[in-house]
A and B are shown apart, each in its own frame.
Chain A
Amino acid sequence: MMRFLLLFSRQGKLRLQKWFTPIPEREKKKIVRDMTTMVLARKPRSCNFLHWKDLKIVYKRYASLYFCCGLDTEENELIALEMLHRYVELLDKYFGNVCELDIIFNFEKAYFILDEFLLGGEVQETSKQVVSRAIEASDMLQEAEIDNSDYDLELGWP
């Protein structure tokens, strides 16, 4: 499984952090520091795979953002690269030519999209369209709720 996914800028500023296992706050901060230090120190045409403690680290740079994930050792690094790429594609589809600012100002959307693609550290949906459609539908539900807020949307339990 994927243990964590981090997005950070070239200056090491964190833009998104998703943790798939329970980790104390202090340790999260340490991991973030270690990842940013290690990844930012890599030369431009280096291999995208690293070893850190007992994890495989896979990272890829997209424009000004580094996408970095930590995996268990039995994971396939190449498919992890594809996972990172798929996430970027989803962001791109949603925001239209996504850039770092989109993720900064709409970070909660970035999380919602991630939560439609990965669940519990595993891929939950392999079709781009299905993920995009689900996000759109959720957004519409949210909009509808705000628009129709003179009566509460029928949100009850059977």
Chain B
Amino acid sequence: MERFHFLKLRAMSPSVRLQEMIRVIRGARTQGEERGVIQRECAAIRAQFRQVDNGTRSHNLAKLLYVHMLGYPAHFGQMECVRLIASPRYNEKRVGYLGAMMLLDEKQDASLLITNSIKNDLSHNSQYVQSLALCTLACMGSAEMCRDLAPEIDRLLRASNSYIKKKATLCAVHIVRKVPELGELFTPAARSLLSEKNHGVLHGAVVLITELCERNPDTLEQFRKVVPDLVQIMKSLVMSGYSPEHNVAGISDPFLQVRILRLLRILGRNNDTASDAMNDLLAQVATNTDSSKTAGSAVLYETVLTVMDIKSESGLRVLAVNILGRFLLNNDRNIRYISMTSLQKIVQTDHNAVQRHRGTIVDCLKDQDASVKRRALELSLALVSAVNIRSLMKELLLFLSSCPPELRAHTTSGIFNAAERYSPSQRWHIDTILHVLTTAGGDVRDETVPNLIQLITTASELHCYTVHKLYRALITDISVQSLVQVACWCIGEYGDLLLRGECEETEPVQVTEDDVLDALETVLQSHMSSPATRGFALTATMKLSTRITHNVDRIRSIVSIYGSCIDVELQQRAVEYNALFKKYDHMRAAVLERMPVIDKSSPGHANDESAGGAIKELEQTKLTQEVVLPKEPGNQVCDLLDLLGGSGEPVSSSALSNILPGTARSTSGGDLLDLLGGLDVSPAPPSVKVYEKNGVTLQLQTDSQTDTGMTITLTATNSTDGDITSLTLQAAVPKCVQLQMKAPSGDVIPARGIGLVTQTVLLNNPNKVSLKMRVRVCYTSQGSVCQDTVQIDSFPSPAW
């Protein structure tokens, strides 16, 4: 009686207590209150765990699992799971195994402790206990546990009821994923499972065979033989009448159908025989499956994937692509989305088939959903061709004006690539790029500016049109840096065309010199302009000095103002331009002349339809473009100094072509000098010879001098018959003087005085001490290394 009483009490420890606790926790009004409740409960649970079994263990563990789901630590429950799993009572095992799946994973030591319990429970009388063990093993079984228990699982695969068989099959799948070598063990059983009638077992069998085939090519080979069996199963599913047990929206067991189709895909891939054997079936499924609901669409989707991946007949492929086309028109957004992901996969291989659906794809650019938009963009870009470029580009530009910010960069680069490859005309190309810059100039890649400049120079008939268009854009808005940079460059280069007023391709507009200079000055002064942009604007202003007639003084004053600009780059440019005005005015026109067309040493516009190959070409094009591109206009002036120094070192061809039209490929300093009419190589200002030996002469010239510093230039010449190489100059000054050596113009002095090397040195002498300098000259002449040091005690008077 007493025992009965005690047990009745046990029976009354209900899960109401769990629900009570949940209610209390949910009633907590603040996070702090909740924490308090949970701490109390956990303390109680811990205490209970330590006690002797009183029938409440499973409820306490359940409470702990709830608390764990809220995010609180529950590791002290791990051992309790182990204990409960070992209990003879089903309800305790149930919670114990649940706890194991939630709190234990293969990394915990405690998980090993349940291996034995699982092993025992796999052979239990009750199938529901077996089921718990199988479920847990498949959920969190470690490799070690899997190895241990694999034979048990194999046994269950062969001899048990369908309830256990289906679970054992999926357990085997887990084991194979953990320990692939064990695949061999399960292969025979897997084969025979295919003759089962029970859908659960069949489904599991198909999953197992799929897993085995994916991991082992030999097994795959073996299982090709079962293609007819699979075809048969599918046929009966598709053709069978209404089967209430497995029916979903008119489709008989879509889950099983999808898995079989996936297995067929793996088996038919790269294999003609297998593909032939399934051809009819696939056609049948594709034609007969009702896709008005998701279940049917899921089956059709899998069918399409399979058709496109195996060696199917062309008729079947067309059928598949048409299904995808139909999906594109489906009201269900999900179906439109997966249609596009599938089309993306086949757009290279079945390009023409996909082209037929271009209209619908482009319409999807206007879809509300961001995922659909993204897919539509990818596909549209993949479908661009020489034939459809004009119309498709209109759509893409429209899309760009309203597309979500995260897609803008991708869209602009896609548009540029497409324009690059398929532009019908240069004017169209330029217009398109300008349109993009106006709409989304902030989201374009850095190479866009030099690329566009290069494109503009090649379109010589369009210079007038381009500069007008860019000028108009500039006076409208100077916030888009890329656009402003290109506009400044164009105005600097083609300003004379702008001022002329007439232009064939666009409406004439009266632009005065002041207007143009105003525009450039606005850019220079605006806080919106980046330092690079201001550099462009300054150089453009300078270039205009040879293209305008009345306002040269204005330019001179702008340039001299920026000589004291805080920005070092601008300051340097301004100082150099100033020098151009003052000292080298006679060369200004030549230096600032129009640039020749920059040669684009790329394959040029691709005409081929094949999208895939062209992309690689395009990448190479981009690379070579960058190599050939002109240096930024600012560098022209550095080249200018080289020119003055007459560097004999082969200057890169583009730099030379910047300065001297018509001598595009000339690299020798000699030709350079000839063209300028025998310019006297030695610098005009007074210089002193500080070193002369072995035919190497070093001259020193003071460029400028103030109370606290000076700038000097060292010039090295060579009168020997051979080149002087590896020339380095090092300088030392008294302690309180600061020294800065600029980069030399080169390290090779050509023979016979053809060229020379210069190096500028800046001296800062705040304490106004007497300036002295020691210079070490180091060079290789006729194979031998020479090194000398010279002392310079006095400096010549400055140039100006």
Q: Do A and B come from one complex?
A: yes
**What residues make up the interface of A, taking CB atoms closer than 8 Å to B?**
14-17, 20, 22-24, 29, 43, 45-50, 74, 76-79, 81-83, 85-86, 104-108, 111-112, 115-116, 119-120, 122-130, 134, 137-138, 141-142, 145-147, 149-150, 152-158
Q: Pull 10 A–B residue pairs with CB atoms less than 8 Å apart, ordered by A.
A: A47-B336, A49-B371, A50-B371, A82-B295, A82-B298, A108-B95, A120-B174, A122-B207, A141-B90, A156-B125
Name the contact of A155 in the complex, choosing from B125, B140, B167, B199 (C-beta under 8 A).
B125
In the bound complex, do residue B90 and residue A153 qualify as a contact, i.e. CB atoms below 8 Å apart? yes
Our pick among A120, A125, A141 for the contact of B139 (Cβ within 8 Å) is A120
Please tell me if the beta carbons of A141 and B338 are within 8 angstroms of each other in the complex: no
Contact partners of B336 in chain A: CB under 8 A:
47
> Cβ of B372 < 8 Å from any Cβ of A?
yes
| Count of CB-CB pairs between chains A and B under 8 Å | 178
Q: For the complex, give the distance between the alpha carbons of A78 and B302 in Å.
A: 9
B3 interfacial by beta-carbon distance below 8 Å:
yes
Bound form: Cα–Cα A122–B298 in Å: 16
- The answer to whether A49 and B334 have CB atoms under 8 Å apart is yes
Q: Which secondary structure dominates chain B's binding surface?
A: helix
Within 8 A of A (CB), among B309-349: 333-338
Please tell me which stretch of B61-69, B504-512, B513-521, B580-588 contacts chain A, meaning at least 4 of its Cβ atoms lie within 8 angstroms of it: B61-69
Q: Are A142 and B174 in contact (CB under 8 A)?
A: no
Tell me, in angstroms, the Cα distance from A155 to B246 when the chains sit together. 34
Q: Is A126's CB under 8 angstroms from B199's CB?
A: yes
List B contacts of A138 (CB < 8 A): 94, 128, 131
Question: Would you give the shortest CB distance from A64 to chain B, in whole angstroms?
Answer: 14
- Contacts A76-B301, A127-B245 known; list 12 others, CB within 8 Å: A47-B371, A49-B334, A50-B371, A78-B297, A79-B255, A79-B302, A108-B65, A108-B95, A122-B204, A141-B126, A154-B125, A155-B125
Contact across chains for A45 and B369 when beta carbons are under 8 A apart: yes
Q: Which residues of B contact A45 (CB under 8 A)?
A: 333, 368-369
Chain A residues near B256 (CB, 8 Å)?
A: 126
Set of chain B residues within 8 Å of A105, measured between Cβ atoms = 19, 22-23
Knowing A17-B69, A146-B11 touch, does A137 contact B128 (C-beta < 8 A)? Answer: yes
Is there a chain A Cβ closer than 8 Å to B129's Cβ? yes
Judge whether A119 and B294 touch: CB under 8 Å: no
Interfacial chain B residues near A20, Cβ < 8 Å: 139
* B246 engages A126 (CB within 8 Å): yes
Q: How large is the interface on B (under 10, 10 to 19, 20 to 34, 35 or more residues)?
A: 35 or more
State how many angstroms separate the Cβ of A47 from the closest Cβ of chain B. 5
B91 touches A120 (CB 8 A): no
Is A123 within 8 A of B255, CB to CB?
yes
Q: When A104-B22, A112-B94, A157-B120 are in contact, do A120 and B88 touch as well, CB less than 8 Å?
A: no
Among B7, B19, B66, B94, which residue has the most Cβ atoms of chain A within 10 A? B94
Q: Is chain A's binding surface mostly helix, strand, loop or mixed?
A: mixed
Closest B residue, CB atoms, query A138: B128
How far apart sit A154 and B95, CA to CA, in the bound complex (Å)? 19
Contact A76:B298 (CB < 8 A) given known A47-B333, A126-B203, A149-B7: yes
Question: When chains A and B are docked, how far (Å) is the Cα of A156 from the Cα of B89?
Answer: 10
Contact B246 A142 (CB under 8 A): no
- Chain B nearest Cβ from A71, distance in angstroms: 13
The docked-state distance in angstroms from the alpha carbon of A150 to that of B2 is 11
Taking CB atoms, residues of chain A closer than 8 Å to B264 are none
Whether B125 lies near A82 (C-beta < 8 A) is: no
Interface residues of B in 245-294 (CB under 8 A from A): 245-246, 248, 253-256, 258, 262, 294
Given contacts A76-B298, A120-B171, A149-B7, contact A157 B22 (CB under 8 A): no
* Nearest residue, chain A, Cβ from B103: A25
A-chain residues with CB within 8 Å of residue B91 when the two chains form the complex = 142, 145-146
- Give the residues in chain A near B370, CB-CB below 8 Å: 46
Least Cβ distance of A54 to chain B in Å? 15
Interface set, chain B 161-210, CB cutoff 8 A to A? 163, 166-167, 170-171, 173-174, 199-200, 203-204, 207
> In this assembly, does B774 line the interface, its C-beta being within 8 Å of a C-beta of chain A?
no
CA distance A145 to B89 in the complex (A): 8
A16 to B66, CA, bound (A): 10
B23, B71, B89, B301 interface centre (most CB from chain A within 10 Å): B89
Query: Closest residue to B178 on the A side, CB-wise?
Result: A22
Min distance, Cβ B788 to any Cβ of chain A, angstroms:
65
B90 proximity list for chain A (CB < 8 A): 141-142, 145, 153, 155
One of B23, B128, B334 near A48 (C-beta < 8 A): B334
Q: Chain B: which residue is nearest A125 at the CB level?
A: B200
Q: Residues of B contacting A125 with CB < 8 Å?
A: 166, 199-200, 203
B107 within 8 A of A: yes
Contact A24 B107 (CB under 8 A): yes
Complex Cα–Cα for A133 and B305 (A):
35
Q: Which of A14, A76, A123 contacts B203 (CB 8 A)?
A: A123
The residues of A that contact B22 with a CB separation of less than 8 Å are: 104-105
Bound state CA distance, A141 and B128, in angstroms?
Answer: 9
Contact status B125-A46, CB under 8 Å: no
- Which residues of the other chain, A, contact B368 by a CB distance below 8 angstroms? 43, 45-46
Task: Give B142's nearest chain A residue, CB to CB.
Answer: A22
Q: Which of chain A's residues have a CB closer than 8 A to the CB of B89?
A: 145, 152-153, 155
- What distance in Å separates the Cβ of A5 from its nearest Cβ neighbour in chain B? 12
Name the contact of B245 in the complex, choosing from A76, A129, A134 (C-beta under 8 A): A129
The 6 closest A-B pairs by CB, nearest first: A78-B298, A120-B138, A79-B298, A119-B170, A120-B174, A22-B105
**Docked CA distance A58–B106 (Å):** 27
